[in-house]
């Protein structure tokens, strides 16, 4: 433990007296923890419950979490004859002196690489200083919520000299053909061009993906090279598979060939995404409209999700099912976003945005009109909407979606119109 004095982040001031609000803010990004072992020695059932549910959070799925009761004494006892894990969390209900004595006892049996997080009830600067001196990595004031634990553990592995970790944004259609790829590609383009964030579009529709066509690229390599050679995957290998589409924007293309079939295991894309997120700030996943182990896993583990729906009944039902499923699977994240696309097809009876908002208990982030001329021209020319017409209202919507999905609060480009009230409502809700 004891050599990481520089790591101490005293999060006491972030704590609220009641159980904290269990949802992360739009601009907060908690990077997932690597494959580490964590052992908690709690004194109260409330803290044990918070650690338990933190262990079930998507950001800790790779970790092994074990929970015991008994605080520092039990920990010192447990490690007398066995190696310590990567992280030990100790809860102490005691006075400052007893907390420090417990830690000193633990220090005698603690391996030097092990990080220690302490949960206590005392908010006192002398105690903080002493904890820092002993190399405690983080001190949390009880009561702690699930996200406090997640934040603290993940923070140990993304802080200081750790590599920047990218945000993964998954875009999926509520039905086939609703324009989810079009939205994904245009939003990624806006993230790169307007926000100047390095982004990679990952086309996961291996057989039929259109990202190459949409960005007018025909790269010789594709994501198939990585997913069929998992042993070769590392940052340098993935880097060679990317093709540059614009400033700040690269593409990990689909092969779009039928010489193989594309049945994947649930974890098939894990190493590719882990590798991308170590170097790329924003990874936009173009997730095909399928429900398989791997698509489900990609959606559950993404940092943000955008569901694209058309204005009909099947889309409404499917979007609702997706939102309900993902809210249950991601209880500590804000709900998936959705937008409506291809709205206003002449003579077509449509379900209104208000009905969607009622059924999904949330407003769409954007209502993108059906514009066959504009979208058809862009698709056939291998261009983005903003390249065909920078001031088109759909281009403006993609810019606003880019801002929301990257957690940017500034919406200065928005010039009123349809999105502004929704956006301000969104910002209020999140704030």
Residues that bind ligand ATP (CB under 6 A): 173, 176-182, 205, 210, 288-289, 341-342, 368, 370-372, 375, 379
Tell me whether residue 181 or residue 332 sits nearer to Mg ion (CB atom).
Answer: 181
Q: Find out whether 104 and 133 touch, Cβ atoms under 8 Å.
A: no
Nearest to 282 by CA among 261, 317, 323, 252: 252
Classify residue 35 by its DSSP letter: S
Tell me whether residue 24 or residue 368 sits nearer to Mg ion (CB atom).
Answer: 368
Tell me whether residue 139 or residue 338 sits nearer to Mg ion (CB atom).
Answer: 338
Task: In the chain, count H helices and then E strands.
Answer: 17, 14
Tell me whether residue 155 or residue 173 sits nearer to ligand ATP (CB atom).
Answer: 173
Shortest Cβ 91–ligand ATP spacing (Å): 48
Asked whether the bond before 143 is cis by omega within 30 degrees of 0, the reply is: yes
Tell me whether residue 25 or residue 376 sits nearer to ligand ATP (CB atom).
Answer: 376
Shortest Cβ 189–ligand ATP spacing (Å): 13
Q: Find out whether 326 and 299 touch, Cβ atoms under 8 Å.
A: yes
Residue 331 partner contact from Mg ion, ligand ATP, none using kind-dependent CB cut-offs of 5 to 8 Å: none
Shortest Cβ 219–ligand ATP spacing (Å): 19
Shortest Cβ 182–ligand ATP spacing (Å): 3
Q: Find out whether 153 and 50 touch, Cβ atoms under 8 Å.
A: no
Q: Find out whether 301 and 32 touch, Cβ atoms under 8 Å.
A: yes
Shortest Cβ 172–Mg ion spacing (Å): 9
Shortest Cβ 174–Mg ion spacing (Å): 12
**Which H or E run includes 146?**
helix 146-158
Take residue 70 and report the two structure tokens written for it.
């008994």
E strands, 18-114, are 37-42, 64-69, 87-92
Residue 155 partner contact from ligand ATP, Mg ion, none using kind-dependent CB cut-offs of 5 to 8 Å: none
Which positions lie near Mg ion, rule CB under 5 A?
Answer: 181
Tell me whether residue 127 or residue 343 sits nearer to ligand ATP (CB atom).
Answer: 343
Count of Cβ atoms closer than 10 Å to residue 58 Cβ: 19
Q: Find out whether 223 and 204 touch, Cβ atoms under 8 Å.
A: yes
Shortest Cβ 181–Mg ion spacing (Å): 3
Tell me whether residue 154 or residue 283 sits nearer to ligand ATP (CB atom).
Answer: 283
Sorted by sequence, the CB contacts under 8 Å of residue 353 that are 6+ apart come out as 311, 340, 343, 363, 364, 367
Strand pairing report for 9-10 and 37-42: unpaired
Sorted by sequence, the CB contacts under 8 Å of residue 64 that are 6+ apart come out as 36, 37, 38, 85
Take residue 403 and report the two structure tokens written for it.
């801002």
Shortest Cβ 180–ligand ATP spacing (Å): 4
Residue with tokens 């933190």: 54
Tell me whether residue 2 or residue 213 sits nearer to Mg ion (CB atom).
Answer: 213
Tell me whether residue 219 or residue 369 sits nearer to ligand ATP (CB atom).
Answer: 369
Shortest Cβ 168–Mg ion spacing (Å): 17
Phi then psi for residue 369, to 5 deg, are -70, 155
Residue 333 partner contact from ligand ATP, Mg ion, none using kind-dependent CB cut-offs of 5 to 8 Å: none
Tell me whether residue 25 or residue 176 sits nearer to ligand ATP (CB atom).
Answer: 176
Shortest Cβ 307–ligand ATP spacing (Å): 11
Residue 135 partner contact from ligand ATP, Mg ion, none using kind-dependent CB cut-offs of 5 to 8 Å: none
Q: Residue with CB nearest Mg ion?
A: 181
What's the Cα-to-Cα distance from 363 to each of 91, 353, 367, 423, rounded to whole Å? 41, 8, 10, 9
Sorted by sequence, the CB contacts under 8 Å of residue 231 that are 6+ apart come out as none
């Amino acid at each position: 433990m004891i050599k990481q004095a520089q790591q101490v982040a005293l999060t006491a001031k972030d704590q609220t007296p009641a159980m904290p609000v269990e949802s992360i803010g739009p601009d907060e990004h908690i990077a997932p923890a690597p494959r580490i072992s964590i052992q908690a020695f709690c004194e109260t059932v409330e803290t044990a419950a918070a650690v338990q549910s933190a262990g079930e959070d998507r950001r800790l799925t790779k970790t092994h979490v074990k929970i015991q009761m008994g605080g520092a004494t039990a920990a010192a006892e447990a490690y007398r004859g066995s190696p310590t894990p990567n992280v030990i969390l100790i809860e102490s209900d005691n006075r400052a002196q007893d907390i420090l004595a417990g830690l000193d006892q633990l220090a005698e049996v603690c391996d030097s690489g092990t990080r220690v997080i302490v949960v206590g009830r005392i908010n006192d600067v002398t105690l903080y200083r002493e904890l820092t001196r002993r190399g405690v990595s983080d001190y949390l004031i009880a009561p702690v919520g699930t996200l406090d634990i997640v934040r603290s553990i993940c923070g140990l592995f993304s802080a200081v000299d750790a590599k920047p970790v990218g945000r993964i944004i998954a875009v999926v259609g509520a039905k086939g053909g609703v324009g989810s790829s079009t939205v994904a590609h245009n939003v990624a383009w806006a993230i790169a061009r307007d926000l100047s964030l390095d982004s990679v579009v990952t086309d996961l529709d291996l057989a039929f993906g259109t990202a190459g066509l949409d960005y007018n690229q025909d790269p010789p390599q594709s994501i198939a090279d990585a997913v069929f050679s998992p042993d070769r995957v590392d940052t340098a290998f993935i880097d060679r598979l990317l093709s540059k589409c614009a400033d700040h924007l690269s593409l990990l293309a689909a092969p779009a060939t039928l010489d193989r079939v594309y049945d994947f295991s649930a974890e098939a894309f894990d190493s590719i995404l882990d590798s991308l997120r170590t170097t790329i700030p924003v990874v936009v996943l173009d997730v095909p409209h399928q429900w398989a182990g791997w698509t489900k896993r990609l959606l559950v583990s993404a940092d943000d999700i955008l569901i694209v729906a058309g204005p009909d009944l099947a889309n409404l039902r499917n979007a609702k099912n997706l939102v309900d499923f993902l809210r249950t699977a991601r209880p500590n994240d804000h709900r998936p976003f959705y937008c409506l696309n291809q709205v206003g097809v002449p003579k077509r009876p449509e379900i209104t945005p208000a009905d969607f908002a009622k059924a999904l208990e949330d407003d769409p982030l954007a209502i993108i009109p059906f514009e066959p001329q504009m979208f058809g021209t862009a698709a056939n020319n291998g261009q983005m909407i903003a390249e065909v017409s920078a001031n088109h209202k759909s281009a403006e919507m993609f810019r606003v979606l880019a801002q929301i999905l990257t957690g940017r609060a500034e919406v200065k480009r928005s010039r009123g119109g349809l999105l502004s009230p929704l956006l301000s409502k969104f910002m209020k809700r999140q704030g």
